[in-house]
Structure 1
């Protein structure tokens, strides 16, 4: 059995064979944390054993080529260059690093989706306690997606950030990320996309989406180890950021 993502064939039978639990378990929680395939588990255990034998810094030097290859692989996955990617210890860490690097000013506005991830919204509210900014949830359209028409009406020179969750964590909603990106690209605002549930589940390209910043996790649809996350930053956006 084969299927494909972005035109690349996937051998489903081989993938199942690489995932021992498929023989004994019906697992439907990939949106929380997927079942690790054997190559992932073996790679993690092998690296821990190397650290045990050689030491942490020495192991990092010895495996530097594999680490650099990971940045290249992740770049190909989302249509980015290796230097545009930071690997973090979680998607939440990646998102918070991106958000904290945006130099907000009094009077700025944040536009977000009605179904925004809770911890993201907490960061908005915490910033609002420190600065006189305004957080505005964009209304949904008749299908339940973020309304692009409503976003266009709200998007003015006061908007510093449009932050949207691509696929919310507990439902089947898919927000129109590409259409949002096209709209934001014509403004002075930055576009931050939380793609935790979409990278690995849907084909996507950061250039096609017109995102300035994108975050995701390794443990969900990429079937990577827990404790891994990714932050993408567009080159043209770097000069606008002040990393904490």
Structure 2
């Protein structure tokens, strides 16, 4: 069982807000804040290059802690600016040709879908979206059929989409990709930190994530997992720099042997150290314990929200995540968000444009309220959120 009083004592933000926007950016715990500010002060005192050199060992701790989160080793981790940056670097390493198939889902993240469309426009790749089950979530059977019949260059799945409570069956899809020797890219931006994520079980070639969401790290940091298969094949981002490769002669360079070939030379090292502390914090709390607590919190919250007048929860799937989408045809999502903000309760908006395919079929044509609790939230905070919404919906 989690020690909620200690976790909340570690979280100074709870003195100011009830935070239900953890799918956007969570509240950083004090050890993360301290790690960032210590390095900022060190840079101010001795210089940026010198501070990085002095903290070389601590900076390496980012790779170790991130690897521990994912059940891999540090040489398979690259630090990036954000999840979208990670995704772009992974995509750029794949030598797409005209006619190649990218097999994805209806619920893949909007930025990923736009990236696929950009590849379609530039290289003539085909975008194919596997069908969903009636109950929600991608059909593994349809994935299997399309992998075998279309021979895609890449299978890409968002583990936890931003636009519903869905958790996609990434491990089952990973098994299909291994059996058919297909590259597999998983967007774990919303899952790492709220659920256990094990790249050995998922069997992916790339996994991308940010540090600011359920991991409770700083904004401006993300990471990329790269498989041994990718490294052995000498795959690398299109625009590699002097950090990812060594310039050996006028016309040749040698790749960095580890996943660091996907990095740039320049880093905000204060954020790297803060992210490392956030990852260690999540590991200390325990990913299984976090997931169990989140399931209980969300079950309570969904039950109470479903009783509110004139609302519909758009969540679906056999397993639900810590993202709850509430839609009202009578009150604009922006009005509901503003009413909550007036009570210092943080939530966010999920727009129709963020999930055109999913929201159109659900009949949501404007925007919805996105509520994303995390393990440090309390039943009292849930009661305050529900009560405020009840009055705002009248």
Q: Same fold (TM over 0.5)?
A: yes
What is the DSSP-based 3-state SS (H/G/I as helix, E as strand, rest coil) of the residue aligned with 1:155? Answer: helix
What is the DSSP-based 3-state SS (H/G/I as helix, E as strand, rest coil) of the residue aligned with 1:137? Answer: strand
Distance, in Å, in 1 between the alignment partners of 2:109 and 2:69 is 23
- Report the CA distance between 1:47 and its aligned residue: 0.8
Q: Which residue of 2 aligns with 1:77?
A: 69
Distance, in Å, in 2 between the alignment partners of 1:206 and 1:242 is 20
TM-score norm. by structure 2 comes to: 0.58
* Structure-to-structure mapping, 1:117-156, within 5 angstroms: 117-156=109-148
Distance, in Å, in 2 between the alignment partners of 1:95 and 1:71 is 18
Distance, in Å, in 2 between the alignment partners of 1:216 and 1:183 is 22
**Structure 2 CA distance for partners of 1:151 and 1:92, relative to 1, 3 Å:** same
1:241 matched to 2:235: yes
What is the DSSP-based 3-state SS (H/G/I as helix, E as strand, rest coil) of the residue aligned with 2:153? Answer: strand
What is the DSSP-based 3-state SS (H/G/I as helix, E as strand, rest coil) of the residue aligned with 1:124? Answer: helix
Q: Which residue of 1 aligns with 2:335?
A: none
* Structure-to-structure mapping, 1:105-116, within 5 angstroms: 105-116=97-108
Q: Is the Cα–Cα contact under 8 Å of residues 192 and 213 in structure 1 kept in the other structure?
A: yes
- Report the CA distance between 1:91 and its aligned residue: 0.8
- Residue 196 of structure 1 is aligned with which of 189, 199, 203? 189
* Structure-to-structure mapping, 1:94-109, within 5 angstroms: 94-109=86-101
1:159 matched to 2:147: no
Greater Rg by CA: 2
Distance, in Å, in 2 between the alignment partners of 1:65 and 1:114 is 43
Distance, in Å, in 2 between the alignment partners of 1:153 and 1:70 is 39
What's the CA shift string for 1:27-65, capped at 9, x where partnerless?
100000001111111111111111111111111110011
Unmatched 5+ stretches in structure 2: 239-394
Unmatched 5+ stretches in structure 1: 4-10
**Structure 2 CA distance for partners of 1:191 and 1:36, relative to 1, 3 Å:** same
- Residue 221 of structure 1 is aligned with which of 205, 210, 214? 214
